[in-house]
Chains A and B, each alone.
Chain A
């Protein structure tokens, strides 16, 4: 809780406010002149955790990367995102290289960029020691256009774009969950029955 809040505040970089040297340090909060809104996924790379204590287990590195306004449908891109969820980065690149879909080329570029970023900026030692923790698609901006039919008829078509988000985490990929058998379901049911108690009694 507190570490998370401190981590988020670390993103705001308070040391910058005092380094400006002006009389009113609060006047220089908005130092960026860009009009483009920086998306939430890009900001996730900026969180800085406090240094770990000696006894704590090592926190694996997390790298967030995305590409915006890809000229592809979000539903079609979702199939590729679902394919590579939970794979190691090498396996994901292999699958995407031989996939026939248009979005496969885009996702492969995004993964290679993210791998490069991980090694350069995020202190990852081995570029193969990454796995894909999350891989999502989002809806981009749609544009409506007129599509001409015969006899002067027309329809309105929408030109769809999508975003693609990926989160790489250092370490080998987690083992896949064993499928739920009937025995597990029966065990859960029996456990639910055993958890019942009497309420409003002594």
Chain B
């Protein structure tokens, strides 16, 4: 049994410190472009105008100042009831659809999608390719040493024919897999 210290008292202390720092900047998340940190909020009952000189106050009597335009933000007016929420979450467009394109692979018998290669057969081929590549690396002995001739893979008990005269031969110490067609 391992006793873990509860993070709650540390979290509470952190929260208290953070809220203390954020107090003059309520509500959080609303950026006041002109206000410098630590001053009272612009709508407070201050006699002196505590706005920075950069904000053009006297420009438009008809239009609202940029400071007030930030107040108009889209916000929900009413809480969405659970019935409304359920209608949205359980709508048929949101539900996971039943897939009708699943078949059985004729080679291995696993399931596969109709337009996709069988995962099991692909994994088998990938593994064999990896081993062939390892053999090639051992033969080359380093990067950028690929030969300029073709390569031929020969399995156990196979001899190179006259067609494979000038090609590089890679030996694999196993029986030829049924899916690897011989030329």
Contact = CB atoms under 8 A, between A and B. Distances in A.
Interface string B7-34: 0000100100010011000001100000
Contacts of A83: 95-96, 98
Given A83-B98, A153-B29, 17 more contacts: A80-B96, A82-B95, A83-B95, A83-B96, A94-B111, A95-B98, A97-B102, A97-B111, A98-B99, A98-B102, A98-B111, A101-B96, A144-B11, A146-B14, A152-B18, A153-B22, A153-B28
B113 interface: yes
> Which 6 pairs, one residue from A and one from B, show the smallest C-beta to C-beta distance?
A83-B96, A79-B96, A94-B102, A94-B111, A98-B99, A98-B113
A99 B111 contact: no
Interface of B is mostly: mixed
Contacts of B172: none
B124 interface: no
Contacts of A101: 96
Nearest to A80: B96
A146 B95 contact: no
Interface of B: 11, 14, 18, 21-22, 28-29, 89, 94-96, 98-99, 102, 111, 113
Contact of A154 (B18, B94, B98, B111): B18
Interface of A: 75, 79-80, 82-83, 94-95, 97-99, 101, 144, 146, 152-154
Contacts of B28: 153
B88 to A, nearest CB: 12
B113 A99 contact: no
Nearest to B110: A97
B99 A95 contact: yes
Contacts of A79: 94-96
A146 B99 CA distance: 39
A36 to B, nearest CB: 12
Contacts of A154: 18
